[in-house]
Amino acid sequence: MNKELPPGLALQKVDERIMTLNVGPQHPGSGHMRIIVQIDGDFIVACDPDPGYVHRGEEKMAEYRNYITNIPHLERPVIHDSCNVLYPYVLGVEELLGIEVPERAKYIRVIASELNRCVYTMYWLAIYGIFLGHSTMFMWPAGDRELLIDLLEKMTGARVTHAHFVPGGVRNDLPPNFEDVCLRQVNYFEKRIKEYAAIFYDNPILIARTANTGVLSREDAIRLGTTGSVLRASGVDYDLRKKEPYDVYDELDFQTNVLKEGDSYARSKIPWLDMMESCRIIRHALQKMPKSGSVRVKLKPNPKGGDASVYKRVESGRGSLGCYIVSDKKPEPYRVKLSVGSFRNLIALPYLLKGEKLGNMPSVYWSLNYWPVEADR
């Protein structure tokens, strides 16, 4: 007399060898999410990432605020990367309102977003270090991050949530003598991150532990829709700063780092290599930047968009970050949709963890360059 249950409610047959672990949300190795892991001995047979513990409804909130007041809260998903999170929204609103941005503002934006990318990557790297039990690699990036945070504080006035980009440019001009200080700090920063190779990236135990684990092939990386450093570690040369240059990236001299291996080691190395490229971009941008000029176009109060929609995307610290804005002739947007890299990278996690050992879970999970709060938005 068994009633036919719908597929989701059917009871699963319990295998006595399988143990289910709830890694998170109260777990030192999960972040603000839960990974339901089923293990057989030391091997993971199934893995189900369960984000959603820090959902704040940023997209819905954006429908009740006008285009300018949206700025401080739309950067909240990743406060360490707040300039890059805000970038596609600002670009989209500029296109909706038909604003031309001054040249100097474009360079300031590029400098700020590259500094912010480094700040985010350092935080990510610190957590990657402590996930692998390497406490020095937690302390060093967390300390060296201060160099760039100080720079951003000079630029924007805030240490993490900058709210610096506005439609029409940036909120305020650079402080006097910023170029020299920035050059000095960035040079020192680059020297410091090169030292990480000796203690972390060339460490034989680290290489033995993360190489050939969680291998994502080139085809799978494209098929699963991963982006950013995960995609580039699998051998796909895809960087929006090169492919769809926005602002002044096409005038700057830098290259994209691509590795072929597609394992955890390559995925953890790409953001570190990208930081050196960021330093190069900042130095070049400081050189080419117009020394004076306006940094912001004055907007009308309460600007209204036309009956149109716009989709803009940028390369954030975690990969491509898109923003879709629909406007219906009101001061508030009709709809704002963020398409984030974190969520697209998380989709690869169950594929990568299946058949891996439990000890590889933290390194594979965090090498996906994933930020739980951004995935929830």
Residues in contact with other proteins by the rule CB under 8 A? 19, 21, 27-29, 42, 129-140, 143, 199-200, 203, 205-206, 208-209, 357-362
Total residues belonging to the chain: 377
In this structure, are strands 165-166 and 34-40 parallel, antiparallel, or unpaired?
A: unpaired
Q: Which is nearer to other proteins, 136 or 255 (CB)?
A: 136
Instruction: Tell the smallest beta-carbon distance from residue 235 to other proteins (Å).
Output: 25
Min dist CB 121 to other proteins, Å, is: 19
Q: Are 234 and 258 contacting, i.e. CB atoms less than 8 angstroms apart?
A: no
Q: Indicate the residue among 129 and 341 with the shorter CB distance to other proteins.
A: 129
∠ Cα 71 72 73 (to 5°): 95
Q: How far is the CB of 200 from other proteins (least distance, A)?
A: 8
**Cis before 301? omega within 30:** no
Q: Which is nearer to other proteins, 61 or 199 (CB)?
A: 199
Please report how close the Cβ of residue 160 comes to other proteins at its closest, in angstroms: 21
> Of the candidates 254, 279, 278, 257, which has an alpha carbon nearest to the alpha carbon of residue 186?
279
Rounded CA separation 278/276 (Å): 5
Kindly state the smallest distance separating residue 128's Cβ from other proteins, in Å. 10
**Sign of the torsion formed by the C-alpha atoms of 343, 347, 349 and 350:** positive
Shortest reach from residue 133's CB to other proteins, in Å? 3
Of 86 and 147, CB closest to other proteins:
147
Q: In 123-160, which positions are buried (b, 16+ CB within 10 angstroms) versus exposed (e)?
A: bbbbbbbbbbebeebbebbbebbebbbebbeebbeeeb
Ordered DSSP codes for 147-167: HHHHHHHHHHS-SS----EET
| Nearer to other proteins among residue 67 and residue 200 (C-beta) | 200
Instruction: Write out the two tokens for 125.
Output: 């790297």
Q: How far is the CB of 130 from other proteins (least distance, A)?
A: 7
Closer CB to other proteins, 147 or 340, in the complex: 147
Q: What angle do CA 179, 171, 189 make, to 5 degrees?
A: 35
Of 54 and 358, which CB lies nearer to other proteins in the complex structure?
358
